[in-house]
């Protein structure tokens, strides 16, 4: 996941996907995330490493600018940086401290952490015959690796609208009717592409792929269960002819070919 790669490994954050409905189904409407149930959202939390990996460099690089709330400004800076580096995702962020005018939090961070699997939210209802009576007991999230040493920073969500109807039709028709020309694989600009060689391999019917690789084989009866994927058994030791040696030999790199 691009979002994780951008902020997790180098800066001490973790990112967990969840479906909005998982959270909203547990909450009264006042606390619902303002998104359709099927929307995919991401919970972002900071780990102990964030202090050294993100906050300290942030403080050093921003020493000339006014800092009123360093940690929140640092988190906002990193999420803004990710958003700018991935403009096509049009990400929106709801921070843990954001509230509506009536002071209701915009996200219930602990419930979102629980449903995303980031942390387990222990509440008084998890204690059988709880001993607190009417006293208010706040719940607490426990992270499987960091215990209580983490903080939930917010929820990242895609735009409410999503791709247009026309774009969805193009995508689905591309996959169903034009999959062989590979263009539908570029629905999002890929960061890495299949080489022409790899495309040739995956464009070849499975039954002919071993031959493409130059692996000698003798076909026995094809499977009648999946006739389009005939089952073959090796009866000879595979041999590598010259044509395939450059594909299979670790000492020879495959030729670099430009993307489509
Ligand atoms: C308001 C708030 C406070 C208030 C009130 C605290 C309270 N819990 O009542 C004050 C200012 C006192 C406070 C203090 C602290 N807070 Co505070 N606070 C928040 C905040 C902004 C909102 C919490 C809230 O209002 N919840 C509303 C109540 C009603 O929600 P609820 O109790 O979870 O009830 C819902 C669930 O039960 C749900 N539900 C029902 N059934 C089910 C079933 C399941 C399975 C699930 C998942 C849910 C669910 O429905 C209920 C709603 O109807 C959150 C951040 C956020 N955006 O969520 C941080 C947050 C809870 N606080 C946090 C922390 C760390 C603290 C402090 C330790 C800070 C400090 N260093 O002093 C102290 C601890 C004091 C304490 N004992 O709570 C962390 C908790 C982290 C964790 N590990 O759980 C949070 C998540 C902030 C963060 N960024 O990480 N806090």
- pLDDT tens for 237-256 read 444 445 454 555 544 444 44
Q: Cα–Cα distance between 114 and 60 in angstroms, integer?
A: 34
Identify which of 27-36, 112-121, 219-228 has the greatest average pLDDT: 112-121
Q: Residue 227 pairs with which residues in a beta bridge?
A: none
Rg (CA), the chain: 26
Identify which of 84-88, 175-179, 235-239 has the greatest average pLDDT: 175-179
Res 223 pLDDT > 50? no
Beta 40-46 vs 92-95: how paired, if at all?
unpaired
Neighbours of 85 (CB within 10 A): 10
Convert the pLDDT of each residue in 144-160 to its tens digit. Answer: 999 999 999 999 986 65
Determine the pLDDT at residue 167. 80
Structural contact between residues 230 and 219, judged by C-beta atoms closer than 8 angstroms: yes
Structural contact between residues 47 and 146, judged by C-beta atoms closer than 8 angstroms: yes
Determine the pLDDT at residue 62. 75
Name the burial class of residue 218, with classes exposed (0-12), middle (13-18) and buried (19+) by CB atoms within 10 angstroms of its CB.
Answer: exposed
Compute the distance from residue 142 Cα to the ligand 1 centre, in Å: 13
Compute the distance from residue 138 Cα to the ligand 1 centre, in Å: 6
Q: Span 28-48, mean pLDDT?
A: 92
Determine the pLDDT at residue 68. 86
Which residues have any ligand 1 atom within 6 Å of their CB?
26-28, 31, 96, 105, 107-111, 114, 121, 123, 138-141, 148, 151-152
Determine the pLDDT at residue 161. 53
Q: Cα–Cα distance between 196 and 209 in angstroms, integer?
A: 15
pLDDT, averaged across the chain? 80
Compute the distance from residue 139 Cα to the ligand 1 centre, in Å: 7
Q: Which helix (H) or strand (E) holds 137?
A: none
Res 235 pLDDT > 60? no
pTM, rounded to two decimals: 0.74
Convert the pLDDT of each residue in 184-218 to its tens digit. Answer: 777 767 778 889 899 899 899 999 999 999 886 65
């Amino acid at each position: 996941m691009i979002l994780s790669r951008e902020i997790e490994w180098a800066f001490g954050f973790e990112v967990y996907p969840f479906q909005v409905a998982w959270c909203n189904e547990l909450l009264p409407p006042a606390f619902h995330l303002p998104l359709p149930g099927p929307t995919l959202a991401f919970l972002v939390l900071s780990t102990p490493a964030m202090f050294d990996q993100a906050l300290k460099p942030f403080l050093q690089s921003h020493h000339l600018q006014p800092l009123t709330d360093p940690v929140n400004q640092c988190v906002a800076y990193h999420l803004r940086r990710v958003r700018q580096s991935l403009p096509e995702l049009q990400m929106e962020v709801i921070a843990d401290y954001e509230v509506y005018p009536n002071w209701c939090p915009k996200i219930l961070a602990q419930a979102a952490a629980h449903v995303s699997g980031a942390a387990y939210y222990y509440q008084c209802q998890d204690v059988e015959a709880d001993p607190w009576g009417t006293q208010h007991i706040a719940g607490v999230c426990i992270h499987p690796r960091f215990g209580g040493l983490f903080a939930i920073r917010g929820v990242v969500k895609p735009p409410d609208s999503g791709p247009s109807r026309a774009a969805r039709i193009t995508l689905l028709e591309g996959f169903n009717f034009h999959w062989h020309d590979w263009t539908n694989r570029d629905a999002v600009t890929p960061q890495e592409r299949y080489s022409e060689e790899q495309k040739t391999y995956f464009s070849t019917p499975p039954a002919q792929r071993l031959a493409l690789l130059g692996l000698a084989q003798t076909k026995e009866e094809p499977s009648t269960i999946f006739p389009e994927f005939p089952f073959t058994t090796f009866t000879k030791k595979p041999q590598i002819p010259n044509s395939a040696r450059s594909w299979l030999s670790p000492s020879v790199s495959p030729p670099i070919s430009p993307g489509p």
